Structure 1
Amino acid sequence: MQQPSIVSYSLSQRFLHWAVALLIFFNLAARLAHAGLYILIFAMPLSGIAAYYFGIDPAGSFHAGVLKIILWALIAAHVAGALVHQFYWKSNVLRRMTLG
């Protein structure tokens, strides 16, 4: 009679460790996405200025190619994260973002 409780305890502990690891991963991903957005706030205009005003062609290619793709990926991840918060986790993140 003892075996089922030990097995269920072991499975619950495995699930708990998995859930904590997943939360840590999501927290890290959110922090990296926000840091990337803040970096791109400065990198996009600076690379555009370098290409347009100073004629540095590699900066223009970097601006129009790599940085643009990274920016769109981060915007998509940001929107997806907000929608997951609203509809899956049912938190009030979108309300706090819109109404303050």
Structure 2
Amino acid sequence: MSAEKAKHDVFQAVADPTRRKLLMLLVEKEMSVKAITAEFPITRTAISKHLRILADAGLVKDRKTGRETKYSLTPEPLQELKKWLDYFELYWENKLSALKHLVENEED
């Protein structure tokens, strides 16, 4: 296994609702840990752990600015997730179409 291989994959990283909210915040702008922590009811240490997991998955990058660390989104790894979800899109469309047909026929 490569030493450069991510410790966490994209699927693990986005599995947690707090990390998903972190990603949503970082879509808009680069933010410091302090600013991010202000958006959550959890400790700065907990936020830092979540950011580390996201960084390990390649979803965020950090940049030192003086004594502050700022984080920004790197969305490219989300393509892996999108490809996986796209694979199942046809399945869901077929199931929803069948459900619609069933519901409409029950009304008759």
Structure with greater Cα Rg: 1
More strand by share: 2
Structure with more contact order per residue of length (Cα contacts < 8 Å, sep ≥ 6): 2
More helix by share: 1
